[in-house]
Amino acid sequence: MAVHKRSYRGYSGPLTPPWSRFSIVTRYAFKNAFQSKLITAFFVCCFFYPLGCAVALYLNKHVDVLVTALNIHALFDVDGKFFFHFLNAQGAMAFVLTALVGPGLISSDLANNALPLFLCRPFSRADYVLGKMAVLVTLLSAITWAPGLILFLIQSSLAGAAWMGANLWMAGSILLGSTIQIAILCLLALALSAWIKRKLAAGAALLGVFFFGAGLGQAVNAVLETRNGSLMNIGELLGSVEIHLFRVYAQSPVPPDLAWLALGALCVFCLLLLERKVRAYEVVKG
Amino acid sequence: MAPVIELEGLTVRFGPREILKDLSGSMSGRTIGLLGPNGAGKSTLINTLLGFYRPSAGTARVLGHDIRMETKQIRSLIGYMPESDCFIAHMTAVSFVRLMAELSGLPSEAALERAHESLFYVGLGEARYRKLGTYSLGMKQLAKLAQAIVHGPRLLILDEPTNGLDPPARQRMIRLVREMRDSGGLQILLCSHLLRDVEETCEEVLILKDGRKVHYSNLEEERRANQRFVELETLGDGGDFAEAVGSLGCECALSSTNRIKMVVPESFAIRDLYRVAAERNVQIRRLNFRRDSLEDIFLKAMESSNGRP
């Protein structure tokens, strides 16, 4: 309709399928996130370490180049420990990226009272949370399991099919370890973002949950002479699970099954917090 | 006309508090005014129709769809303009309205086209690339209206659309509501505590008090019915005049010696009043068709509900 014909008219054109609408929120949230130069720059930095690892894998295989150049016979073994350290390093980057992107995802909509506008449409609360979560899942996937699997494939192509066959479990561990990292970071960031309307405060709360939890856990361990305090330390819980997944022979601070249980409970708790807060209007009972 | 909203014993409780109490009825006007004092349950009713609150008992149907079972279908047919400030401050108006259109199911390109159209329609065409956070209150209200109509809903719910607007902005909003009503493309549920807004735009009115329905009527019919009530101010023997007019089929009541209220029959011609007055040597100083304003209807509804438990 030409702009000079200003009269109300209905819409009778085609509609997008309802299942795809969560991606609209994701698209707009991505656009918003990458308007920040800091986030863009940090996201690029997140690929430096995987790139370095890829170069290291190449050099490790072509050690004869180094032998002639630097008189070195071998660099390192490519085993579970290699990928464990890779995932730990990328996990730290993922945490910082989450702290930068996550807090603004829901808090800005809550601060603007925008939820009734989203939810008065054929668009559910689950779609909304899924759309917001997809932002973090995509970003964190791009810096954790995706480069991890690429490194695994690079090593497989360098070491041959026999190595790949013998170490296929590592691919599964990379995928599973990254998934649990991503799930915890996403849910925690979204839950805090939903409960704290200020973006900065929500970011600080995310850091607080990790670092204050770690400190409190240590204090509990020291005072009560127990190891159960480590259950408050999300980093140690993730570490315990990854030690188990990558078959690293190191002492894990928390038994792996207990760590899985605690992380599962944390996910459920975050989902409950989201369920309570992501509503068009808050109902005050009583 | 098919009913827009049907209420079937609708009850909503928040904890021990009963907010909506057994609401029943069917509304089918092109524009329905939802009136009531603060805390009457107007916004709760709207939020329940939108599926934000779950009924504790009973149900309601919006455009034939049950609010318990078909929330998504209902939401796809409704445009909602909330009362409170709801927008995303860092977005431009056109991006914001486009986002809302896409969430309603419009493909991206159609959503952009409709966003431009809606913003021009509500009068924000020149400001559509400005961030919403920089808008004045009146402009924010218009932006909220634009997002409510962008997907071409069949029912538009306006919750206090003139809140905080200055007189020219209020007039603009009322004009837009009337235009949309007259376009025939959609029906409107307008919730307001400003009787004038409802009176100027609505055909039907539902009045709530303490979560109960206290009045529902068609304003036009009420106005037509009121045309049969006449108030006279006379000079001369009012009693004699009233008696003579009564013999012509009018029901008269003398409120003082020279003030007469009467209900005239359908076939009665007003010039007969003047003829009788001339015969009785009575002067008619003033003659008013008594029209119940919405305020009268509202106050009567409030009074009649006072005795209710």
B268 with B248: CB under 8 angstroms? yes
Residue among B66, B59, B72 at smallest CA distance from B23: B59
Give the pLDDT confidence score for residue B50 in this predicted structure.
94
B259-263 and B251-256 beta bridge pairing: antiparallel
Question: How far, CA to CA in Å, does B112 sit from each of A169, B66, B99, B108, B119?
Answer: 48, 31, 9, 6, 11
Cα within 13 Å of Cα(B112), Cβ side: 3
Binary contact (A113, B84; C-beta < 8 A): yes
Tell me the three state secondary structure of residue A157.
helix
Give the pLDDT confidence score for residue B221 in this predicted structure.
78
Residue whose token pair is 């549920």 = B189
Confirm or reject contact between A26 and chain B (CB < 8 A): no
Tell me the three state secondary structure of residue B266.
coil
Low-confidence residues in chain A, pLDDT < 50:
1-2
B3 CA to centre of own chain: 16
- In this predicted structure, the answer to whether residue B228 has a pLDDT above a threshold of 80 is no
Interatomic CA distance for residues B148 and B188, integer angstroms: 11
* Token couple for A177: 């370890």
- B65 CB contacts (<8 Å, ≥6 apart)? B73, B74, B77
Confirm or reject contact between B149 and chain A (CB < 8 A): yes
In Å, how far is A180's CA from the nearest CA of chain B? 30
Cα within 13 Å of Cα(B33), Cβ side: 29
A32 interaction partners in chain B (CB closer than 8 Å): 90
A117 interaction partners in chain B (CB closer than 8 Å): 80, 82, 86-87, 100, 147
Taking CA atoms, what residue in B is nearest to A107?
B88
Confirm or reject contact between A30 and chain B (CB < 8 A): no
Binary contact (B102, A24; C-beta < 8 A): yes
Residue whose token pair is 């989902």 = A271
Instruction: Compute the mean pLDDT over every residue in chain B, rounded to the nearest whole number.
Output: 88
- Supply φ then ψ for residue B191, to 5 degrees: -105, 125
Give the pLDDT confidence score for residue A71 in this predicted structure.
67
Give the pLDDT confidence score for residue B256 in this predicted structure.
74
In Å, how far is B288's CA from the nearest CA of chain A? 39
In Å, how far is A241's CA from the nearest CA of chain B? 39
Confirm or reject contact between A12 and chain B (CB < 8 A): yes
B229-235 and B283-289 beta bridge pairing: antiparallel
Enumerate the β-bridge partners of residue B286.
B233
Give the pLDDT confidence score for residue A72 in this predicted structure.
65
Which among A18, A114, A286 has CB closest to B15?
A286
Interatomic CA distance for residues B12 and B20, integer angstroms: 5
Higher pLDDT, B133 or B85: B133
* Token couple for A67: 């032998």
Confirm or reject contact between A285 and chain B (CB < 8 A): yes
Interatomic CA distance for residues B141 and A37, integer angstroms: 33
Judged on CB neighbours under 10 Å (0-12, 13-18, 19+), B125 is: middle
Binary contact (A8, B114; C-beta < 8 A): no
| Mean of pLDDT values over B229-253 | 83
In Å, how far is A227's CA from the nearest CA of chain B? 42
Candidates A1, A4, A11, partner chain B, best to mutate (most B CBs within 10 A)? A11
Residue A232 is given by DSSP the state: G
Confirm or reject contact between B183 and chain A (CB < 8 A): yes
pLDDT single digits (tens) B157-184: 999 999 888 898 899 999 999 999 888 7
In Å, how far is A31's CA from the nearest CA of chain B? 11
Binary contact (B50, A18; C-beta < 8 A): no
The proportion of chain B whose per-residue pLDDT surpasses 70, expressed as a percent, equals 95
Tell me the three state secondary structure of residue B263.
strand
What interhelical angle do A199-224 and A168-195 show, nearest 10?
110
Interatomic CA distance for residues B280 and B278, integer angstroms: 5
In Å, how far is A101's CA from the nearest CA of chain B? 16
Binary contact (A15, B105; C-beta < 8 A): yes
- Split at pLDDT 50, 70, 90, the class of B254 is confident
Confirm or reject contact between A278 and chain B (CB < 8 A): no
Chain B contacts in chain A segment 103-132 (CB below 8 A): 108-109, 112-114, 116-124
Give the pLDDT confidence score for residue B159 in this predicted structure.
92
One-letter identity of residue B91? M
- In this predicted structure, the answer to whether residue B295 has a pLDDT above a threshold of 80 is no
Binary contact (B72, A3; C-beta < 8 A): no
Higher pLDDT, B113 or A73: B113
A171 with A251: CB under 8 angstroms? no
Residue B289 is given by DSSP the state: E
CA quadruple A205, A206, A211, A213: dihedral sign? positive
Binary contact (A9, B104; C-beta < 8 A): no
- Split at pLDDT 50, 70, 90, the class of B309 is very low
In Å, how far is B286's CA from the nearest CA of chain A? 44
Chain B contacts in chain A segment 53-112 (CB below 8 A): 108-109, 112
Candidates B70, B88, B106, partner chain A, best to mutate (most A CBs within 10 A)? B88
ipTM of the complex: 0.86
Chain B contacts in chain A segment 132-171 (CB below 8 A): none
Interatomic CA distance for residues B245 and B271, integer angstroms: 12
Judged on CB neighbours under 10 Å (0-12, 13-18, 19+), B205 is: buried
Binary contact (B75, A120; C-beta < 8 A): yes
Question: How far, CA to CA in Å, does A26 sit from each of A20, A137, A221, A263?
Answer: 11, 10, 41, 26
Binary contact (B76, A24; C-beta < 8 A): no
Residue whose token pair is 């905080």 = B164
Angle, CA of B160, B131 and B83, to the nearest 5°: 10
In Å, how far is A192's CA from the nearest CA of chain B? 20
